[in-house]
Copies of this chain bind each other. A is one copy, B any other.
Amino acid sequence: MKISDALLDDTELAARLRLAVTRLARRLRQQTAGEVSQSQVSALASVERLGPLTLGELAAVERVQPPSMTRIIAALEEAGLVERTVDERDRRIARVKTTVAGQRFLERSRSRKNAYLAARVRTMSVEDRAVLARAATLLEQLLEGEE
């Protein structure tokens, strides 16, 4: 088997991806800038990206259990980054949307909390950045596409 084949082997590629992604995620978790956790930022970004969502929908999107999302949203609400509104027709349902402060926070995140990764990316060639950009898209699709 040639090296070029080995590099594209499903299992090998999956293993390498998993290690790389897991390590980088741990590193980024340590980078945790400020009082807002990774999960909270991720949820906040989903709310911004997908618009007003119910807690259940958010939990599904973020792949966490409902009680976890309750806590995440409670923290974001306390920080003034999201706003909850009860559905008028079905008062069991709560919808979440970003506040202006939440949107500003995300903007700052993109230029400040990602400084670590951005600094690393900045040292890369345009070609390498293009690869990472395409990979990011693929990883997004990979997660969206399931079941």
**A residues in contact (CB < 8 Å) with B:** 7-8, 10-30, 38-39, 42, 45, 62-64, 109-111, 114, 117-118, 120-124, 126, 128-136, 138-140, 142-143, 145-146
Contacts and interface: CB of A to CB of B under 8 A. Distances in A.
A136 B22 contact: no
A13 B143 contact: no
Contact of A21 (B11, B16, B21): B21
A21 B136 CA distance: 8
A42 B15 contact: no
B120 A13 contact: no
B11 A111 contact: yes
A46 to B, nearest CB: 9
Contact of A132 (B22, B23, B109, B135): B135
Contact of A14 (B121, B130, B145): B121
A139 B13 contact: no
Nearest to A31: B18
Nearest to A146: B120
Contacts of A20: 136, 139-140, 143
A131 B8 CA distance: 10
Nearest to A144: B23
B11 A22 contact: no
A110 to B, nearest CB: 5
23 contacts: A8-B133, A11-B110, A11-B114, A13-B132, A14-B121, A15-B114, A16-B136, A19-B45, A20-B143, A21-B21, A21-B28, A22-B38, A23-B143, A24-B25, A24-B143, A26-B39, A26-B62, A120-B145, A124-B138, A128-B138, A131-B131, A131-B135, A131-B138
